[in-house]
Amino acid sequence: MKIGIIGTGNVGCACAMAAALRGSARQIVLVNRTRKTAEAVATDIRYGMPLSSKAEIVDGDYADLAGAGVVLITSGVNEKTGGATDRSDPQGRLRLLDKNAQIYRDIVPKIAVAAPDAVLVAVTDPPDPLADIGREASPHTTVLSTGTYLDSQRFRVHLGKHFGVDPAHVEAQVIGDHGTAQVFLWSSARVGGVPIARLLKTRGEDFKVLREKVEKEVRYANITIIEGHDASQYGIGIVSVRIAEMILNDERAVIPIGSFQKKFGVTLSLPSVVGRKGVLEVFEPELSDEEQAGLAKSAKLLKEALERIGG
C-alpha cells in the first residue's frame, strides 16, 4: 500500500510524520515543487523509522506516485500567508481559493496521470471548493476533501473537556463546509447516549452559554493556533492520514467528510461511508430546522465562491 503526499510545507510534513508513526502504509512518497525539500523531509523522518512501524518514506516526482491508493494534496498558500486569520472576515478560508485553485488546476491532472486509480484528498484550505476544482481539472478522478472531520474532532474535544469525559466517547458532528458557515449538530450530540441538552439541564447549566463558547472555540480554532504557532498543522495531519487509512484498508468507516453532493451542487460534508473507492454512501442525518437552514447557507456560500472564480 502506498500513500502519496503532495507538498512538504507545515501540513505536508505533519501528514508525513503521522503516516510514518502510525504505519499507515508500507510506502510514503513525498512530492514537492522543490524536490530537495521533499528529500530533506523524507531523510529526516527516515532516521527515526527503525523505532516506528515498518514503512519506507521517500521523495519523488509525480511518476513515483504510480500504484498509490490515496494521495493527500497539501500544496498551496496557507492561512497566515494568504491573510485568512481575521475572525471578523466572513470569507474566512475562502479568501485563499483564488490562488490555490490555480495550483490545483496545475497539479491534479499530473497526479491523475501518474496514479489513475488513486483517491485524491484535498487538504489545502479551503478544501471543499478545491475538491470541486480538482474534479473539474480531472473529471474521471475521485476527489474528496478532508471536510469537517477535523472540526468534528475539535467539537468532541471541547465537549469532552466541559463534561470531564474522554472525547473518544462523545458523539458530536460538524457538517457543511470547513469554514465559517460550518453546522454544529447539537440536536444529535450525546455523551454516553445522553443528549447534551439533558446533561446540561441536569447540571443546571445554560445550553446557550455552552453553545456560544464551544462554537467560537471550534470555528476559530485554526486562528487561535496560528496566533501562537504560525500554522495549524498537527491536527489536520493526523486527520488526513486517518482518512487515507480508511481508504487504503477499505474500512467503510462512517465520518463527516467532503464529497460532491448533487443535491447541493457542491462538495460539502455529511456523514459518509469511506472505503477503497472513496465515499461509498452518504447518510443524511435528521436535522433541526435551524440545522437544515445552516446547511443550505453553507452550500450557498461554497457555490458563490466557486462561481466567483469560474469553477
Q: What is the mean pLDDT of residues 148-157?
A: 98
Q: What is the mean pLDDT of residues 257-278?
A: 97
Instruction: Provide the mean pLDDT of the chain.
Output: 95
* Span 2-145 CATH architecture: 3-Layer(aba) Sandwich (3.40)
CA distances from 41 to 36, 60, 114, 196 (A): 9, 12, 22, 43
State percent of the chain over pLDDT 70: 99
Which pLDDT score, from 0 to 100, does residue 174 have?
A: 98
Answer whether CATH 3.40.50.300 is correct for domain 149-308: no
Which pLDDT score, from 0 to 100, does residue 311 have?
A: 61
pLDDT at 296 over 90: yes
- Domain ranges (residues) in the chain: 2-145, 149-308
Which pLDDT score, from 0 to 100, does residue 104 have?
A: 98
Which pLDDT score, from 0 to 100, does residue 230 have?
A: 83
- CB count in 10 Å sphere of residue 211: 16
pLDDT at 109 over 80: yes
pLDDT band at 87 (very low <50, low <70, confident <90, very high): confident
Which pLDDT score, from 0 to 100, does residue 310 have?
A: 78
Strand partners, 27: 2, 56
**Residue closest to 243 by CA, chosen among 221, 258, 262, 233:** 258
pTM over 0.75: yes
pLDDT band at 81 (very low <50, low <70, confident <90, very high): confident
Which pLDDT score, from 0 to 100, does residue 86 have?
A: 74
pLDDT in tens, 165-222: 999 999 999 999 999 899 999 999 999 999 999 999 999 999 999 999 999 999 999 9
Q: Residues with catalytic annotation?
A: 178
pLDDT in tens, 219-251: 999 999 999 998 899 999 999 999 999 999 999
pLDDT band at 6 (very low <50, low <70, confident <90, very high): very high
Q: What is the mean pLDDT of residues 46-67?
A: 95
pLDDT at 18 over 70: yes
